[in-house]
């Protein structure tokens, strides 16, 4: 499969690093694995780190919006970081930045999330 996913917990924040290509074919697995982690105790916020994500289409947007709803229900915050230009364009066009903050890197995203606690 042309998508790799790494998850790390940092206090109440789940960091998900995606690399490769997020499309309809790879979306189901990403969705399942993320929901499993989000469901764990003490997980409140979600940081989606997209440094090595080479490609994404509207199936990926669906996954992001779905996780946003889940995190919001839990009273947490969802943010993205390290977005490269092709993915940025898609996120911008879809209006995602109206509901989600974007950060240059993981550490600036994490410090923002911790201030928000």
Tell me which residues touch another protein (CB under 8 A). Answer: 2, 21, 23-25, 27, 31, 55, 57-59, 61-63, 65-66, 85-86, 89-90, 93-94
| Tokens coding 43 | 């997980």
Closest separation in Å from C-beta 71 to another protein:
14
Which of residues 93 and 115 has its CB atom nearest to another protein in the complex? 93
Overall size of the chain counted in residues: 117
Residue with tokens 């970081």: 81
Q: Quote the CA–CA distance of 88 and 43 in Å, as a whole number.
A: 26
Residue 44, CB-side half-sphere exposure with 13 Å CA sphere:
12
Closest separation in Å from C-beta 45 to another protein:
20
Which of residues 10 and 55 has its CB atom nearest to another protein in the complex? 55
The answer to whether residues 21 and 37 touch, using CB atoms and an 8 Å cutoff, is: no
Closest separation in Å from C-beta 116 to another protein:
26
């Amino acid at each position: 499969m042309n998508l790799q996913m790494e998850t790390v917990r940092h206090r109440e924040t789940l960091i998900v690093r995606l690399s490769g290509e997020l499309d309809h074919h790879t979306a189901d697995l990403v969705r399942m694995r993320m929901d499993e982690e989000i469901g764990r105790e003490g997980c409140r916020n979600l940081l989606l780190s997209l440094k090595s994500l080479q490609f994404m289409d509207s199936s990926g947007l669906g996954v992001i919006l779905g996780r946003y709803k889940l995190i919001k229900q839990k009273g947490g915050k969802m943010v993205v970081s390290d977005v490269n230009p092709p993915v940025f364009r898609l996120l911008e066009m879809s209006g995602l930045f109206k509901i989600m903050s974007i950060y240059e890197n993981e550490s600036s995203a994490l410090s923002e999330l911790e201030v928000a606690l």
